[in-house]
Amino acid sequence: MSDLRSRYTVFIVDDDLSVRDSLSLILSLKGFRNATFACAEDFMKALQPDWSGCVVADLKMPGMSGLELQQTLASRVPPLPMIIISAHGDVASSRVAFKADAVDFLEKPFDDEQIVQAIELAMNRLHDRESDLQARQRREAGLARLSTREREVMQLLGEGLQNRAVAEQLGLSPRTVEVHKARVLAKLGIRNVAELVRLVDATD
Amino acid sequence: MAFTIPVRALVAFVCAYPLLDWISYTHPMAHFNITPWNPQPALAIALLMTYGQRWLPAVTLVIAITEQLIRDTATPWQIDITAALVLGLCYGAMAQALTQQFRISPRLDALRDVLRLIGIVILGSLLTGTLYVGTLVAGNAGPAVQFPEALLRFWIGDGVGMLVFLPMTLMLADDARRRQLAAMLFKPETLLQATFIVATLLFIFGQNLAEQVKFFYLLFLPLVWVSVRSGLLGSAVAALLIQTGIIIAVHITGQTPLSVFELQTFLIALTVMGLFLGVTVDEREQAELALRKSQKLAAAGQMAAALTHELSQPLTALANYARAGQLLVIADSPDRSQLEETMNKLVAESRRTADVVRRLRDFLQHGAMRMEQADLVALLENSVARLQDAAAAENTMLKCHVPAGPLPVTIDTLQIEIVLRNLLRNAIDAACDNPAEPREVHASIACDSAREVTVSIVDSGRGIQRGQSEQIFEPFETTKARGMGMGLAVSRAIIEAHRGRLWAEDGGKAGTLRFTLPIGDIDHE
């Protein structure tokens, strides 16, 4: 868990100096890397493509609001999970926030436990997405390295045919098919035919 | 059931009933002893309404004795007793109808109540007259042929007596109305009104007998004046004064009973009109009061909502700093500077919290605003002086244009200071938002009317966008980088509690906010 705390940054966007400062202090003490911004515009100006982490933003700020910031960041890759904090949380805004996939919507004043929990949830989510992304990237790289024959074998195996049937269809010996299958699995970094079937389904 | 004897009321009744009967025993109709005004039944009805029907026997006894003492008692005693019984029972029935059937409040502050009171008086006196005159005719005390005329005279005499006296007596039984009466009697305007009524009466009865009735309508003028200014209580007092004047004048000028009855018929119309007008004025005033109260409540609610929001910010920070302090203590690092700094911030935040709470309390207490005489010129000059440093830091010229000499206003100084600070700060911020030079804020006072004074704050900012001049008064509405956008909402609530107006000029090149304050005394409930 603590490796996530150091891997990701918490971006605090709040127009109230004391809220910003105190939140930053408590998060630092709990081992979260963090950065503070007085308004959404400042954050957007500073934001770098390789920054990765979650955003804790106030709902009501002069200029761009927390919800508007959420909309602006919605299509970003890698994603920046949002936690909205608000001094006058109303059902309508929290609905909008959750529909746009906010991790949490906290009403001020909140407990440090609450915000830490929300941030950890956001980081786990971020971590899962990144792992997924990495796995997919690995697979795509693997697919690119397959030979034509290996790709044919993979396709037929993925459709659920047995080794023997594949061999017959491609005019190969079952043993050769076995060798190709082993190479496909190795290059794609997967363990068994079941995963292969799922992969082929997904890529079709 | 608790049972107490209303000694004072009973003694008053026992003295006043015969006294009134004696005073009003003028121009009696032969055989029937019917007089053109009969105020004393109002006392009987008011007593029964206030203290209950258990006093009906006592009231009837007083009526019977009074009849024997005052009236010409040529009639047999059995008839007198029967007539007194009839009167007592009829008054009892009217009191019963008013309290039990219609449940009218003795304060008489609703048109409905006054309407019912007048209806019961008119129908009740007709019924009483029918039974009373009928009793006398049946007992051969009066000629049967005079029955219709006697009934008419009884009806008018009792009717006018009750219309003039009953509302007055009922209101005197009510504490709030009694206080109102005392306040009214000590107003200089009341003396003027009374003089007007007396002068009008003198004029009317200065005419010869035939002309008098013609000029009677002039009495509507002072009655309308009093009713509009003082409501139902005023019209009841005025009607009483007019009735008294008429009776005195009738004694002095030696009228015939017939012309007195004519005058009394006019008086009925006059009194009914006055009562209706008075209660309408009362109702309107009550509605206005209720509206003002609800506005004040709404303002307080708005303020509370705004301040709740502002409280949650320092509370969040407080919780965080406190927790951070705890963690720092647990970590027990040899460097105490961070812990010390956190503790300092904690203290600062708790001060901020206390400040918000104080402001909330100040505002919510405005139900009891501390109104005092203050010099608006000095107040504005002080507010401007206090912000000179802040303006200079932003490169803004802050100028004050005020008339020479003091301008006394009755205000809650603290609250108006809050308003001035809010508006001036806003103006400085607005001037800074505009890159155009020079940055200026002008505060000025104009006394262009005798009733109110206008304070204007004009800045060299971009002005208020067309159509936005109302929106900026909504709580949480802000265009500024700092602040919660509640300054204007609160300021407007304060100014409205002072019976003034606060508004922004729509459109225009410069931002302009103005507010008015009434000059002179304003009464706050």
Task: Tell me if chain A has a CB within 8 Å of the CB of B209.
Answer: no
- Give me the residue from A38, A87, A112 closest to B313, CB to CB: A87
Confidence bin at A163 (pLDDT 50/70/90): confident
The residue type of B408 is P
CB contact under 8 Å between A18 and B481, yes or no, is no
Task: Tell me if chain A has a CB within 8 Å of the CB of B302.
Answer: no
Q: What is the 3-state secondary structure (H, E, C) of B468-485?
A: CCCHHHCCCCCCCCCCCC
Q: How far is A30 from chain B (nearest CA, A)?
A: 9
End-to-end CA distance of chain A: 36
Task: Tell me if chain A has a CB within 8 Å of the CB of B337.
Answer: no
- The span from the CA of B8 to the CA of B14, in Å, is 10
Residue A54: pLDDT over 90: yes
- Give me the residue from A26, A62, A110 closest to B478, CB to CB: A62
- The span from the CA of B310 to the CA of B319, in Å, is 15
Domains and CATH numbers, chain B: 8-173 (1.10.1760), 369-525 (3.30.565.10)
Whole-number pLDDT of residue B198: 93
CB contact under 8 Å between B321 and A25, yes or no, is yes
Tokens of B203: 């004029």
Q: From residue B470, give the alpha-carbon distance in Å to each of B260, B309, B343, B389.
A: 63, 22, 43, 30
Phi/psi-derived region of residue B373, left when phi > 0, alpha when psi is between -120 and 50, beta in every other case: beta
Nearest to B519 by CA among B458, B457, B456, B445: B445
Q: How many other C-beta atoms lie within 10 A of the C-beta of residue A171?
A: 7
H or E element at residue A123: helix A112-144
- Give me the residue from B312, B331, B478 closest to A108, CB to CB: B312
Nearest to B241 by CA among B267, B215, B269: B267
Those residues with Cβ within 8 angstroms of residue A55's Cβ, 6 or more apart along the chain or in another chain: A10, A11, A13, A43, A69, A73, A80, A81, A82, A83
CA B89 to chain centre: 37
CB contact under 8 Å between A26 and B349, yes or no, is no
Q: How far is A77 from chain B (nearest CA, A)?
A: 30
Tokens of A176: 């050769």
Q: Write out chain B's pLDDT in tens, 525 residues.
A: 456 778 888 899 999 998 888 888 877 777 777 888 888 999 999 999 988 888 999 999 999 888 888 776 667 788 888 989 999 999 999 999 998 888 888 888 888 999 999 999 999 999 999 999 999 888 887 888 889 989 998 999 999 999 999 999 988 888 888 898 999 888 899 999 999 999 999 998 888 877 777 888 889 999 999 999 999 999 999 999 998 888 888 888 776 766 778 888 888 989 999 999 999 999 988 888 877 666 666 666 666 666 677 788 889 999 999 999 998 998 888 888 889 999 999 998 888 888 777 766 766 665 556 678 889 998 899 888 878 877 887 888 899 998 887 888 988 877 788 788 888 988 888 888 777 778 899 999 988 788 889 999 998 887 777 777 777 776 555 554 444 456 787 788 888 888 899 998 876 777 889 999 998 654 443
CB contact under 8 Å between A26 and B480, yes or no, is no
Sole residue written with tokens 């697979």: A139
- How do residues A63-95 score in pLDDT, each as one tens digit? 788 999 999 998 887 889 999 998 876 788 888
CB contact under 8 Å between B318 and A109, yes or no, is yes
- DSSP per-residue string spanning B52-67: -GGGHHHHHHHHHHHH
Residue A60: pLDDT over 50: yes
Task: Tell me if chain A has a CB within 8 Å of the CB of B309.
Answer: yes
CB contact under 8 Å between A109 and B309, yes or no, is no
Q: From residue A29, give the alpha-carbon distance in Å to each of A3, A17, B329.
A: 15, 18, 11
Nearest to B495 by CA among B408, B411, B372, B427: B411
- The span from the CA of B324 to the CA of B322, in Å, is 5
Q: Percentage of chain A surpassing pLDDT 90?
A: 35
Domains and CATH numbers, chain A: 2-130 (3.40.50.2300), 145-203 (1.10.10.10)
- DSSP per-residue string spanning B338-379: HHHHHHHHHHHHHHHHHHHHHHHHHHHGGGG---EEEEHHHH
Whole-number pLDDT of residue B251: 80
Task: Tell me if chain B has a CB within 8 Å of the CB of A19.
Answer: yes
The pLDDT of A107-136, averaged and rounded, is 89
CB contact under 8 Å between B317 and A18, yes or no, is yes
Task: Tell me if chain B has a CB within 8 Å of the CB of A31.
Answer: no
Task: Tell me if chain B has a CB within 8 Å of the CB of A41.
Answer: no
Beta-strand runs (E) in B394-491: 396-401, 408-411, 439-446, 452-459
Candidates B308, B309, B313: best to mutate against A (most CBs of A within 10 A) is B313
Q: How many other C-beta atoms lie within 10 A of the C-beta of residue A173?
A: 11
A-contacting residues of B 352-371, CB under 8 Å? 352
- The span from the CA of B309 to the CA of B435, in Å, is 32
Tokens of B304: 């509370």
> What ipTM was assigned to the predicted interfaces of this complex?
0.72
Tokens of B506: 């729509």
- The span from the CA of B104 to the CA of B119, in Å, is 12
Query: Strand B502-504 vs strand B511-518: parallel, antiparallel, or unpaired?
Result: antiparallel
Q: Least CA distance to B329: which residue of chain A?
A: A29
CB contact under 8 Å between A23 and B478, yes or no, is no
Candidates A14, A18, A39: best to mutate against B (most CBs of B within 10 A) is A18
CB contact under 8 Å between B323 and A63, yes or no, is no
Q: How many CB pairs under 8 A join A and B?
A: 77
Q: How far is A56 from chain B (nearest CA, A)?
A: 14
CB contact under 8 Å between A110 and B319, yes or no, is yes
Mean pLDDT of chain A: 87
A30 neighbourhood in chain B, CB within 8 Å: 327
Q: How many other C-beta atoms lie within 10 A of the C-beta of residue B344?
A: 11
- Give me the residue from B312, B324, B481 closest to A29, CB to CB: B324
B315 neighbourhood in chain A, CB within 8 Å: 108-109
Q: How far is B511 from chain A (nearest CA, A)?
A: 19
Nearest to A70 by CA among A117, A133, A122, A30: A122
Bridge partner residues of B411 (DSSP): B372
Q: Least CA distance to B318: which residue of chain A?
A: A22
The residue type of B49 is M
Give B101's DSSP letter: I
